[in-house]
Amino acid sequence: MKLCTALDLPTFEENIALAKELKTFDIWLKVGFRSYIRDGKSILHELKNINPNFKIFLDLKLYDIPNTMADAAEEIAGLGVDMFNVHASSGEKAMHTVMERIGGLPKRPIVLAVTALTSFDNESFRKIYGEDIDNKAITFAKDAYKSGIDGVVCSAHESALIKSHTAKKFLTLTPGIRPFGEAAGDQKRVADIAMAKEELVDFIVVGRPIYKAENPKSVVEKILSEL
Protein backbone atom coordinates (compact mmCIF):
# COMPACT_ATOMS: atom_id res chain seq x y z
CA MET A 1 0.00 0.00 0.00
CA LYS A 2 1.29 3.46 -0.98
CA LEU A 3 0.63 6.80 0.65
CA CYS A 4 -0.55 9.63 -1.57
CA THR A 5 -0.46 13.05 0.11
CA ALA A 6 -2.92 15.65 -1.16
CA LEU A 7 -1.34 19.03 -1.85
CA ASP A 8 -4.53 21.00 -1.21
CA LEU A 9 -2.96 23.99 0.53
CA PRO A 10 -4.11 27.51 -0.44
CA THR A 11 -0.88 28.73 -2.08
CA PHE A 12 1.89 27.47 -4.36
CA GLU A 13 4.46 28.36 -1.69
CA GLU A 14 2.69 26.34 1.01
CA ASN A 15 2.36 23.28 -1.24
CA ILE A 16 6.02 23.50 -2.18
CA ALA A 17 7.03 23.93 1.46
CA LEU A 18 5.06 20.78 2.35
CA ALA A 19 6.66 18.82 -0.51
CA LYS A 20 10.12 19.97 0.65
CA GLU A 21 9.37 18.87 4.17
CA LEU A 22 8.38 15.42 2.85
CA LYS A 23 11.11 15.07 0.25
CA THR A 24 12.92 12.17 1.90
CA PHE A 25 9.87 9.91 1.82
CA ASP A 26 8.88 7.39 -0.82
CA ILE A 27 5.39 8.82 -1.38
CA TRP A 28 2.99 9.97 -4.06
CA LEU A 29 1.81 13.58 -4.22
CA LYS A 30 -1.67 14.46 -5.38
CA VAL A 31 -2.07 17.70 -7.31
CA GLY A 32 -5.73 18.62 -7.58
CA PHE A 33 -7.98 21.28 -9.05
CA ARG A 34 -6.94 24.04 -6.75
CA SER A 35 -3.22 23.98 -7.36
CA TYR A 36 -3.31 22.83 -10.98
CA ILE A 37 -5.82 25.49 -12.02
CA ARG A 38 -3.74 28.16 -10.33
CA ASP A 39 -0.18 26.95 -10.85
CA GLY A 40 -0.40 24.67 -13.89
CA LYS A 41 2.70 22.90 -15.15
CA SER A 42 4.99 24.89 -12.88
CA ILE A 43 3.90 22.97 -9.79
CA LEU A 44 4.59 19.64 -11.52
CA HIS A 45 8.08 20.75 -12.57
CA GLU A 46 8.84 22.15 -9.15
CA LEU A 47 7.79 18.93 -7.40
CA LYS A 48 10.03 16.81 -9.63
CA ASN A 49 12.86 19.30 -8.96
CA ILE A 50 12.46 18.81 -5.24
CA ASN A 51 12.65 15.04 -5.60
CA PRO A 52 12.68 13.37 -9.03
CA ASN A 53 11.43 10.20 -7.35
CA PHE A 54 8.20 11.79 -6.15
CA LYS A 55 5.33 10.18 -8.02
CA ILE A 56 2.64 12.59 -9.11
CA PHE A 57 -1.08 11.91 -9.30
CA LEU A 58 -2.91 14.62 -11.24
CA ASP A 59 -6.42 14.56 -9.82
CA LEU A 60 -8.51 16.36 -12.44
CA LYS A 61 -11.35 13.82 -12.75
CA LEU A 62 -12.06 14.19 -16.45
CA TYR A 63 -15.69 14.11 -17.52
CA ASP A 64 -16.65 15.05 -21.08
CA ILE A 65 -17.44 13.53 -24.46
CA PRO A 66 -15.08 10.68 -25.48
CA ASN A 67 -12.97 12.61 -27.99
CA THR A 68 -12.48 15.58 -25.67
CA MET A 69 -11.47 13.26 -22.84
CA ALA A 70 -9.00 11.42 -25.03
CA ASP A 71 -7.49 14.75 -26.18
CA ALA A 72 -7.11 15.82 -22.54
CA ALA A 73 -5.66 12.43 -21.57
CA GLU A 74 -3.03 12.72 -24.29
CA GLU A 75 -2.08 16.19 -23.05
CA ILE A 76 -1.87 14.90 -19.48
CA ALA A 77 0.36 12.02 -20.56
CA GLY A 78 2.62 14.64 -22.15
CA LEU A 79 3.02 16.36 -18.79
CA GLY A 80 4.96 13.38 -17.47
CA VAL A 81 2.69 12.73 -14.48
CA ASP A 82 2.50 9.19 -13.13
CA MET A 83 -1.26 8.87 -12.65
CA PHE A 84 -4.48 10.73 -13.49
CA ASN A 85 -8.19 10.02 -13.30
CA VAL A 86 -11.51 10.23 -15.11
CA HIS A 87 -15.10 9.80 -13.92
CA ALA A 88 -16.46 6.28 -14.50
CA SER A 89 -19.87 7.90 -15.06
CA SER A 90 -18.45 9.36 -18.29
CA GLY A 91 -19.21 5.87 -19.63
CA GLU A 92 -17.46 2.86 -21.13
CA LYS A 93 -17.06 4.47 -24.54
CA ALA A 94 -15.26 7.50 -23.11
CA MET A 95 -12.99 5.40 -20.89
CA HIS A 96 -12.20 3.03 -23.72
CA THR A 97 -11.40 5.94 -26.06
CA VAL A 98 -9.03 7.39 -23.46
CA MET A 99 -7.18 4.10 -23.02
CA GLU A 100 -7.01 3.50 -26.75
CA ARG A 101 -5.54 6.97 -27.31
CA ILE A 102 -2.80 6.76 -24.67
CA GLY A 103 -2.28 2.99 -24.91
CA GLY A 104 0.16 3.34 -27.80
CA LEU A 105 2.48 5.78 -26.03
CA PRO A 106 5.93 4.49 -25.04
CA LYS A 107 5.23 5.39 -21.43
CA ARG A 108 1.77 6.20 -20.17
CA PRO A 109 0.46 7.23 -16.75
CA ILE A 110 -1.74 4.93 -14.65
CA VAL A 111 -5.41 5.79 -15.26
CA LEU A 112 -8.05 5.48 -12.56
CA ALA A 113 -11.81 5.97 -12.76
CA VAL A 114 -13.77 7.63 -9.96
CA THR A 115 -16.72 5.46 -8.87
CA ALA A 116 -18.51 7.48 -6.16
CA LEU A 117 -17.06 10.56 -4.52
CA THR A 118 -16.30 9.80 -0.88
CA SER A 119 -18.22 12.92 0.18
CA PHE A 120 -21.53 11.25 -0.86
CA ASP A 121 -23.67 9.46 1.63
CA ASN A 122 -26.12 6.92 0.25
CA GLU A 123 -29.09 9.28 0.17
CA SER A 124 -27.35 12.09 -1.71
CA PHE A 125 -25.82 9.55 -4.10
CA ARG A 126 -29.23 7.99 -4.82
CA LYS A 127 -30.65 11.41 -5.66
CA ILE A 128 -28.22 11.72 -8.55
CA TYR A 129 -27.61 8.15 -9.72
CA GLY A 130 -30.90 6.49 -8.69
CA GLU A 131 -29.15 3.49 -7.11
CA ASP A 132 -27.44 2.58 -3.87
CA ILE A 133 -23.84 3.60 -3.67
CA ASP A 134 -22.48 0.07 -3.10
CA ASN A 135 -24.19 -1.46 -6.13
CA LYS A 136 -23.42 1.43 -8.42
CA ALA A 137 -19.76 1.60 -7.35
CA ILE A 138 -19.39 -2.04 -8.40
CA THR A 139 -21.10 -1.41 -11.75
CA PHE A 140 -18.86 1.60 -12.39
CA ALA A 141 -15.78 -0.43 -11.46
CA LYS A 142 -16.77 -3.26 -13.83
CA ASP A 143 -17.32 -0.74 -16.65
CA ALA A 144 -13.89 0.76 -15.98
CA TYR A 145 -12.26 -2.67 -15.91
CA LYS A 146 -13.89 -3.66 -19.21
CA SER A 147 -12.71 -0.39 -20.75
CA GLY A 148 -9.06 -1.17 -19.99
CA ILE A 149 -8.70 1.32 -17.12
CA ASP A 150 -6.06 0.41 -14.50
CA GLY A 151 -8.14 0.87 -11.36
CA VAL A 152 -10.66 2.97 -9.49
CA VAL A 153 -10.96 5.75 -6.97
CA CYS A 154 -13.43 4.47 -4.39
CA SER A 155 -14.09 4.45 -0.68
CA ALA A 156 -12.10 2.00 1.40
CA HIS A 157 -15.43 0.37 2.26
CA GLU A 158 -15.76 -1.00 -1.30
CA SER A 159 -12.17 -1.81 -2.23
CA ALA A 160 -12.11 -5.57 -1.56
CA LEU A 161 -15.54 -6.08 -3.09
CA ILE A 162 -14.50 -4.21 -6.24
CA LYS A 163 -11.41 -6.39 -6.57
CA SER A 164 -13.52 -9.51 -6.17
CA HIS A 165 -15.77 -8.35 -9.03
CA THR A 166 -12.88 -7.33 -11.30
CA ALA A 167 -9.33 -8.53 -10.60
CA LYS A 168 -6.89 -8.53 -7.71
CA LYS A 169 -4.50 -6.40 -9.73
CA PHE A 170 -7.22 -3.84 -10.56
CA LEU A 171 -5.97 -0.91 -8.46
CA THR A 172 -7.95 0.86 -5.77
CA LEU A 173 -7.14 4.33 -4.50
CA THR A 174 -9.12 5.53 -1.53
CA PRO A 175 -9.55 9.10 -0.31
CA GLY A 176 -11.39 9.82 2.93
CA ILE A 177 -8.64 8.18 4.96
CA ARG A 178 -8.37 9.31 8.54
CA PRO A 179 -5.27 7.31 9.48
CA PHE A 180 -5.74 7.46 13.23
CA GLY A 181 -9.40 8.46 13.55
CA GLU A 182 -8.96 12.21 12.86
CA ALA A 183 -11.93 14.52 12.10
CA ALA A 184 -13.81 13.51 8.95
CA GLY A 185 -14.57 17.07 7.75
CA ASP A 186 -16.85 16.86 4.69
CA GLN A 187 -15.95 13.20 4.03
CA LYS A 188 -18.75 10.73 4.71
CA ARG A 189 -17.28 7.27 4.14
CA VAL A 190 -14.00 7.48 6.01
CA ALA A 191 -11.67 4.66 7.04
CA ASP A 192 -8.49 4.25 9.04
CA ILE A 193 -5.31 2.46 8.00
CA ALA A 194 -6.31 -0.86 9.55
CA MET A 195 -9.47 -0.92 7.47
CA ALA A 196 -7.63 0.13 4.30
CA LYS A 197 -5.28 -2.81 4.82
CA GLU A 198 -8.10 -5.24 5.36
CA GLU A 199 -9.73 -3.94 2.20
CA LEU A 200 -6.53 -4.54 0.15
CA VAL A 201 -6.31 -0.87 -0.85
CA ASP A 202 -3.36 -0.04 -3.16
CA PHE A 203 -3.15 3.73 -2.52
CA ILE A 204 -4.49 5.73 0.42
CA VAL A 205 -5.02 9.45 -0.10
CA VAL A 206 -4.52 11.63 2.95
CA GLY A 207 -4.99 15.39 2.83
CA ARG A 208 -6.04 17.36 5.86
CA PRO A 209 -4.74 14.94 8.51
CA ILE A 210 -1.26 15.64 7.10
CA TYR A 211 -1.26 19.23 5.90
CA LYS A 212 -3.26 20.59 8.83
CA ALA A 213 -1.07 18.79 11.39
CA GLU A 214 1.39 20.76 13.45
CA ASN A 215 4.13 18.41 12.32
CA PRO A 216 3.22 16.87 8.92
CA LYS A 217 6.52 15.02 8.70
CA SER A 218 5.90 13.06 11.87
CA VAL A 219 2.34 12.18 10.74
CA VAL A 220 3.74 10.84 7.45
CA GLU A 221 6.41 8.90 9.33
CA LYS A 222 3.76 7.38 11.57
CA ILE A 223 1.54 6.47 8.61
CA LEU A 224 4.40 4.88 6.69
CA SER A 225 5.39 2.82 9.69
CA GLU A 226 1.87 1.32 9.68
CA LEU A 227 1.64 0.47 5.98
Q: Point out which residues bind ligand C5P (CB under 6 A).
A: 6, 8, 32, 59, 114, 117-118, 153, 175-176, 185, 187, 205-208
Within its chain, how far is the Cα of 53 from the centroid?
18
Q: Rounded distance, CA 98 to CA 7, Å?
A: 26
Cβ-based nearer residue to ligand C5P, 151 or 176:
176
Angle between helices 41-50 and 12-21 (to 10 degrees): 20
Q: State in angstroms the smallest separation of the CB of 206 from ligand C5P.
A: 5
Q: State in angstroms the smallest separation of the CB of 68 from ligand C5P.
A: 21
Cβ–Cβ < 8 Å for 171, 202: yes
Q: State in angstroms the smallest separation of the CB of 122 from ligand C5P.
A: 15
Q: State in angstroms the smallest separation of the CB of 34 from ligand C5P.
A: 8
Residue of 2, 61, 197, 222 with catalytic role: 61
Cβ-based nearer residue to ligand C5P, 100 or 197:
197
**Catalytic residue check, 30:** no
Cβ-based nearer residue to ligand C5P, 98 or 152:
152
Which residues, including other chains, have CB under 8 Å from residue 64's CB and lie 6 or more apart?
Answer: 72, 90, 94
Distances (CA, A) of 26 to 3, 4, 29, 54, 164: 8, 10, 10, 7, 29
Cβ-based nearer residue to ligand C5P, 35 or 147:
35
Catalytic residues: 61
